Structure 1
Amino acid sequence: MAALAWLAAGLLLLADWLLLRPGLPGFFSLLVPGVPLLRIWAVGLSRWAILGLGVRGILGVTTGAHGWMAALQLLTAALGLAQPGLASFRELASWGALRDGDNAGVLHWGSRLDAFVLSYVAAVPAAALWHKLGSLWAPSGRRGAGDMVRRLLGFLGSEKRSLRLVLVLLILSCLGEMAIPFFTGRINDWILQDKTAPSFARNIWLMSILTIASTVLEFAGDGIYNFTMGHMHSRAHGEVFRAVLHQETGFFLQNPAGSITSRVTEDTSKVCESISDKLNLLMWYLGRGLCLLAFMFWGSLYLTVVTLATLPLLFLLPQKLGKVYQSLEMKVQESLAKSTQVAIEALSAMPTVRSFANEEGEAQKFRQKLEEMKTLNKKGALAYVVEVWTTSISGMLLKVGILYFGGQLVVRGAVSSGDLVSFVLYQIQFTHVVEALLSCYPWMQKAVGSSEKIFEYLDRTPCSPLSGSLAPLNMEGLVEFQDVSFAYPNYPDVQVLQGLTFTLHPGKVTALVGPNGSGKSTVAALLQNLYQPTGGRVLLDGQPLVQFDHHYLHRQVAAVRQEPLLFGRSFRENIAYGLTRNPTMEEITAVAKESGAHDFISGLPQGYDTEVGETGNQLSGGQRQAVALARALIRRPRLLILDDATSALDANNQLRVQRLLYENRGPASPTVLLITQQLSLVEQAHHILFLKEGSVCEQGTHLQLTERSGGCYRAMVEALVAPSD
């Protein structure tokens, strides 16, 4: 198939050479006599149409084609429009080359073999470059720099209008920068022609004014741009963090906290900084390069073609190195995330590290991760050196070529010495622009590598829905587990719960007991909708738990764990955490008294405004449990889950919780699931479930279960009371 495509392309080239080259100019010379520019446009458009139809008809290239086949459509456009465009440019420049009779010079390609070949030499690289840029910025399944920029600029919202003003200021500033090369060439000619001093001084003043205006416009554009990008930075960080927070709980089991933190903070910052810095440079140098290219065409068509013919060579290596940069950057980010995870684990468990005297072991593990990153950075540095060296050599050779060909044109009288001076200055600046653009390309590729995980987080759809739509006015608190099975996402083959069936009745206290690893905490997690059952259903008031609105559900269902996490904020903020309303101080004090937290909080100098420290590390385990219990009680939930939540409380506070659970219970009392090993709390429960290997093996009241000879619950009770005998 590929061989036939190449054969067809060769036949089109042969037809262009044998038929279109001599035929079209002759035909339109008879049809449109005496108007060379119009005739050249007619020839060019006809050539584009005929070659385009050939590409579509013979090769079957369509609009959605990919690879080099798609570039053929651009090639036909470049071949057809290049010469009419140049002819029009010369007319606008008042060169008058097309005004004398029927002679269109080299632009009339039908009569010159070298011009025909030159059209392909110019059109093929131009079409290939345009196709490459188009594929880079067009949306596709594989994320590219264009997609990344569009997504990040989307965070600007209505402020994107500021970028239009920046573009206008940029174009005006770039035009002003052309003053120095332009007037330098003119001054050279005036000196050689003994022009008068007033004309010289007047143009010096004009050049100075244009240059100063260009600088002012540049500063204004940079200020507006940086102010606009600042908004993008903050919104991007917020959106990435928000996307992570809305993932299912299993996502956080499969991805370490250090890795997620690295992506949300460091990777997002790096991508935003790369975009704001490099996009600014990219726009500036691109606008400057287009202005320079226009003035270069104005000055000398031949020298401009020589300059452009060398550009594909300057693009090849950076294109390859860009892929190397992207691959290395992804590996560097992965290595950095791993080293960050090692540091976070060590710092968050310093008492354990210290107690095992393993400081050097953790330091060595961290150094190993840094060594991996060091090797990757060395490879990236080597690729950068090779790129800079190659680009510099190419630029130097281009300058030598321009001086040689330009000198020949001055000797033949084709251009003036002033035009050559202006062109050389344009070409030097143009080379610097190309080098700057090439240096931006690898940085954009590196930003693409850093953005992979960021956009993965932004685009990721949670495996289980976070929120439904149910929000009834009243909830009874009836819970039903119907043949529920469950396995954690990171261990899908290990069944924690198997065919679990039971009911929690409204207003009753149900104790869930059993050996470690039997699935008690998993039941609590399923009731909070942190995970979805792999089999069976969990119903709340007869409706699947997943169908309830997220915020409504967690106003009605509150849980306290054995080792609750507090936030580095005040007691007041921790107790009111997650509430959509601001509770009064009386409400906060009331629940703190119920949980036993009020006594020690009120004894602090700042009371409820005292900071609890990071994760509540300034509090004892019992104090954390008391605050967490107050945080649950202030919601007045219909379902309260206590997952070994009183294990660290002292005797007085345990007694307070016991009275809270069992005294004065009525229709308004919440349904309670009590997971504990404390017999004093279990024996008063209205119903007891004994869980073993993920299934309920016994259930009943304390009296019923203790009377069952050989039962699991009775054995547990005997084991608990044995030490006190």
Structure 2
Amino acid sequence: MARDSATVQQQVVALIVAACVDYSLFYASGFVVTQSAVGHVARLWVSAALRFSVLTVIALLTLGKLKPMLMRFITTHSVLHAVFETGAKALYSEGSQCGQLADVRCWLMCAGASLSAALFWEISVPDSEEGAGGRENKQKARVLLMRVIYLFKPDYPLLFGGLVFLSLAVICEMFIPFYTGKVIDILGSHYQQSEFLSALLFMGLYSIGGSVSAGCRGGLLLCAINSFTCRIKVKLYEALTKQEIGFFETVKTGEMTSRLSKDTTLMARAVCLNVNVLLRTFIKTLGMISLMMSLSWKLTFLVLIETPFTGVIQNIYDKHYQRLSRAMQDSMASANDAANEVVSGIRVVRSFNTEKQEVHRYDNRLMETHNIKTRRDIVSAVYLLARRLTGLVMQVLTLYYGRLFIQRGQMTTGNLVSFILYQSNLGDNIRTLTYIFGDMLNSVGAAGKVFEYLDRKPQVSTDGKLKPERLTGHIRFNRLNFSYPSNPNKTVLQDFSLELKAGQMTALVGPSGEGKSTCVSLLERFYESQEGEILLDNKPLKLYDHRFLHEKIAVVSQEPVLFSGTIRNNIAYGLPDCSLNKIQEAARNASAHEFIVQLEKGYDTEVGEGGGKLSKSERQRIAIARALVREPQVLILDEMTSALDTESENKVQQALASYPDQTLLVIAHKLKTVEKADQIVVISGGKVAEKGTHQELMDLKGSYYKLKEELFTEGSSPQR
């Protein structure tokens, strides 16, 4: 403790010594004013270098290590006076009063300005260890911003045209206040009609030019935004469709639709429009400062004092506002997800009479969004109040000193009016500049979520190239261990091994949840097993071409999914060159042709969303036809006849018998279907419990014998 106290005392003494030495050097630099401008400027910069060296040495001896913020303060404080006086000499051929007096007031003013600048930089771009995460996030945001700008590459001509018209609009807008003040001076002094009409003419031309240029700029940028949005939505949709099934089980539908519908539009508009605003504001600010300097350089420096305070206020506001905006986006996605769940499962909601509960749940999600939005609005209100108070104080000071300059003859009334008009716009522009770059980096947060999906590589690879001319359909499950990504702690298949011989029918049976459907999912390569592999014709499945594999392996599930469109399109789904004759033949084999031709539009009948216009039996027969039209070498039937009547089931069985070389894998709960299998496999606990023919397993009187009594009844409903 004593050591810490001594250190603090040493630092305080060093600070006092540094202040005294620095002020002495500062005072000495302005004590003697020579007639030579070059000599005076040289003296100022020599003094600045000397002050910088002395302060740095004192800080190093005292602290041992210089923090970035302290280094910035020392640098700014040392050179600010020299920069200010050099600018005054170069632009106006006269030194300022501060340069001539170099008293305590000037020294304190330079110290205060330097400290404000250092604090502003520290808040905007922190260098402390606590800000390391912030720097990393900003760097990541910059990378994302450059990626978004690169994706605009096809629209660069539109953006360039928008930039040209943007520059023209800004130039025209800048001169309107200038001619406004000129008109006031003409009216207030010796009126000359020619000068008055000339000023009005230029005002009108600049106004028309600014309006036309602004309209062209907006039109070109909107075209670029719309083009980019369509392009990025297609890219994101393509990336989503390539993800493995486990991805869709772990990511909510509402989140994906939000990224696809909102975030793509947000990243296009936010980045493109922010770049537009940034360039326009930057060009306009430089032009305004130049014109204001020509009107009164003293008032201009007074107005620019507001900048550090505006920057600090803006930065604090940005941090809180963006955090609440991200929270609101997540809350809205959660509310959309709740609504999507109810709409997709409305039958379940209605059957269990939970409408009020779901409405209450949706209302709670919306209230969370409302509360976050309220907090965000409060932050905006406080920021607006602070910003207007700062602007009001600066306007009062401008009017006060402007009146003094008019009395002294240093500026005219018209010049003051023009200056005030510029000042009102300049304050908004400086606030926009301090806000827009941070907002542009923050707005790519939406882009980051989109790029997260675009960059995501599916965990189940589809890079296989193997496409053999002949495939027998021999399948072997080799020592598989598998857990679902959504529940990695539960092992579904344990050391699972099974052989499906080519041209034979294998039936998987067992209680619900023992791993039958998991075998089908792995065979379809919806998932990747953690251990072991599946071989097709003695080659790992992952080596086969993705499209080739799914042409040779077809699945008919218990709950078939149809897409909006015609029956023809659903049967030929994924086969754009499939002929109508082939479609009709597959429909006949699936016992679907008869009911299809009885429909008003036949094969061109719309099935509705999810096949809602058809019965379950009709949907199942169309799904069977969709599988058969591919003439697959391996056909997987997962309770595919659960909704068929006996006659239709017999027709389908006869059609399947006409493909003797086809490997069949069947999951069924009807004894009539199972007992015809060449091999029956009983799965229990993720392992093969028994296998053999129907008679062999019945003679064994084991698990299959018990299942026959419990599950395989002709009138039983299928169980999974």
With normalisation by structure 1, the TM-score equals 0.85
Structure 1 position 405, deviation (Å): 1.7
2:611 to 607, 613, 616: 616
Q: Which moved more, 1:454-463 or 1:371-380?
A: 454-463
Q: 1:405-463, CA deviations, whole angstroms, 9 ceiling, x for partnerless residues?
A: 22222333333433322211110121233455677689768745655643433343434
- Whether the aligned pair in 2 keeps the contact of 1:329 and 1:450 (CA below 8 Å) is no
- Alpha-carbon offset, residue 696 of structure 1: 0.5
Deviation at 1:314, TM superposition (A): 2.6
Structure 1 segments unaligned to the other structure (5+ residues): 63-67, 99-103
Distance in 2 between residues matched to 1:441 and 1:250, nearest whole Å: 38
Query: Are 2:30 and 2:100, in contact at CA under 8 Å, matched by a contact in 1?
Result: no
Checking the alignment, whether the CA contact within 8 Å between 2:185 and 2:414 is kept in structure 1 is: yes
1:104-503, aligned counterparts within 5 Å?
A: 104-105=95-96, 118-122=109-113, 125-126=116-117, 140-141=136-137, 146-147=142-143, 149-191=145-187, 193-194=189-190, 196-434=192-430, 447=443, 453-503=449-499
The aligned runs of 1:652-691 (5 Å cut-off) are 652-665=647-660, 669-691=661-683
- Higher mean C-alpha deviation, range 450-459 or range 286-295: 450-459
Instruction: Look up the equivalent residue of 2:703 and give its one-letter code.
Output: C
Query: 1:69 aligns to what?
Result: 68
Does residue 644 of structure 2 align to residue 649 of structure 1?
yes
**Aligned residues of 1:152 and 1:232 also touching (Cα < 8 A):** no
SS of structure 1 residue aligned to 2:491: coil
SS at match of 1:635: coil
Alignment partners' CA distance in 2, 1:514 and 1:447:
53
Q: Distance in 1 between matches of 2:202 and 2:51?
A: 43
Distance 1:514 1:168, change over 3 A: same
Q: 1:316 to 1:485 in 2, by over 3 A?
A: same
Deviation at 1:613, TM superposition (A): 0.9
Q: Which residue of 2 aligns with 1:65?
A: none
Query: How much does 1:519 deviate?
Result: 0.4
* Aligned-partner residue type, residue 222 of structure 2: N
* Letter paired with 1:679: L
395-404 vs 205-214, which deviates more?
205-214
User: What residue number does 1:713 align with?
Assistant: 704
Does the CA contact (< 8 Å) of 2:634 and 2:664 recur in 1? yes
CA contact (8 A) 1:71 1:131 kept: no
Give the superposition deviation at 1:526.
Answer: 0.5
| Structure 1 contact 561–644 (Cα < 8 Å) conserved | yes
| Sequence identity percentage | 30
Gaps of 5+ in 2: none
| 1:400 Cα deviation after fit | 0.6
AA aligned to 2:706 is A
Q: How many residues align?
A: 703
Match of 1:587 among 573, 578, 582: 582
2:596: which partner in 1? 601
Q: Measured at CA, do residues 542 and 131 of structure 1 come closer, stay the same or move farther in structure 2, by a change above 3 Å? A: farther
**One-letter amino acid of the counterpart of residue 713, structure 1:** Y
CA deviation string 1:336-381 (max 9, x = no partner)? 2232222222222223322333322222222222222222222222
Tell me the amino acid that sits aligned with residue 184 of structure 1.
T
Tell me, yes or no, if the aligned pair for 1:271 and 1:447 is still in contact at 8 Å.
Answer: yes
Q: CA deviation at 1:6?
A: 11
2:280 counterpart SS class: helix
The answer to whether the 8 Å contact 2:22/2:51 transfers is no
On the 8 A contact 2:158/2:223 being kept in 1, the answer is: no
Counterpart-to-counterpart distance in 2, 1:55 and 1:628: 84
User: 2:567 pairs with 564, 571, 580, which one?
Assistant: 571
Deviation at 1:505, TM superposition (A): 2.0
**Within the alignment, does 1:626 sit opposite 2:625 as a pair?**
no
TM superposition shift of 1:326: 2.5
SS of the equivalent of 1:178 reads helix
Deviation at 1:533, TM superposition (A): 0.9
1:548 counterpart letter in structure 2: Y
CA offset digits 1:468-493 (Å, max 9, x no partner): 34344443322221111111122212
1:217 aligned partner, one-letter code? S
Q: 1:193 to 1:655 in 2, by over 3 A?
A: same
2:594 corresponds to which letter in structure 1?
D
CA contact (8 A) 1:329 1:449 kept: no
Cα distance in 1, alignment partners of residues 199 and 483 from structure 2: 81
Is the contact between residue 225 and residue 269 of structure 2 (CA under 8 Å) also seen in structure 1?
A: no
Change (3 A) 1:111 1:382: closer
Please give the alpha-carbon distance, in whole angstroms, between the structure 1 residues aligned to 2:58 and 2:557. Answer: 70
8 Å contact from structure 2 (residues 120, 312) kept in 1: no
Per-residue CA deviation, residues 104-137 of structure 1 (Å, 9 max, x unaligned), is: 446968967655555555555456656766789x
**1-side partners of 2:189 and 2:248: how far apart?**
78
Counterpart CA distance in 2 for 1:56 and 1:497 is: 67
Q: 1:532 aligns with which of 515, 522, 528?
A: 528
Contact 1:569–1:611 (CA<8 Å) still a contact in 2?
yes
Which residue does the alignment assign to 1:101?
A: none
- Are residues 1:637 and 2:632 paired? yes
Q: Which AA in structure 1 matches 2:640?
A: A
* Alignment partner, residue 702 of structure 1: 694
Compute the displacement of 1:503 (Å): 1.3
Q: 1:172 to 1:476 in 2, by over 3 A?
A: same
Q: CA deviation at 1:229?
A: 1.0
**CA distance in structure 2 between the aligned counterparts of 1:555 and 1:37, rounded to whole angstroms:** 86
Per-residue deviation, 1:562: 0.7
After superposition, the Cα gap between the structure-2 partners of 1:588 and 1:174, relative to the gap in structure 1 and judged at 3 Å, is same
Q: For 1:34 and 1:286, how far apart are their aligned partners in 2?
A: 33
2:677 and 2:268 map into 1 onto residues whose CA distance is: 56
Q: Could you give the per-residue CA deviations for residues 281-326 of structure 1, whole angstroms, max 9, x where no partner exists?
A: 4443343233222322333232222222223323333322322222
Deviations 1:509-552 (A, max 9, x none): 22211121110000000011111112222222333323333223
CA contact (8 A) 1:109 1:116 kept: no
SS in 2 for 1:496: strand
Query: AA paired with 2:203?
Result: M
- Would you say the 8 A contact 1:317–1:387 is kept in 2? yes
The aligned amino acid for 1:711 is: G
- Report if aligned partners of 1:468, 1:546 keep a CA contact under 8 Å in 2: yes
Residues 1:391 and 1:237: Cα distance change in structure 2 (over 3 Å): same
On the 8 A contact 1:184/1:422 being kept in 2, the answer is yes
Give, in angstroms, the shift of residue 154 of structure 1. Answer: 3.3
Query: Are the structure 2 counterparts of residues 152 and 687 from structure 1 closer, same or farther at C-alpha, using a change threshold of 3 Å?
Result: same
Q: Compute the displacement of 1:41 (Å).
A: 10
When structure 1 is superposed on structure 2, of 241-250 and 598-607 the one drifting more is: 241-250
Q: Distance in 2 between matches of 1:470 and 1:249?
A: 22
Q: CA deviation at 1:691?
A: 0.9
| Paired residues of 1:78 and 1:126 also in contact (CA < 8 A) | no
CA pair 24-724 structure 1, distance change in 2 beyond 3 A: closer
Matched-pair contact (CA < 8 Å) for 2:535–2:541: yes
| Higher deviation after alignment, 538-547 or 175-184 | 538-547
Q: 1:223 to 1:510 in 2, by over 3 A?
A: same
Distance apart, 1:393 and its partner CA: 1.9
CA deviation after TM superposition for structure 1 residue 223, in Å: 1.3
**Cα separation, partners in 2 of 1:165 and 1:71, compared to 1, 3 Å:** farther
1:516 aligned residue: 512
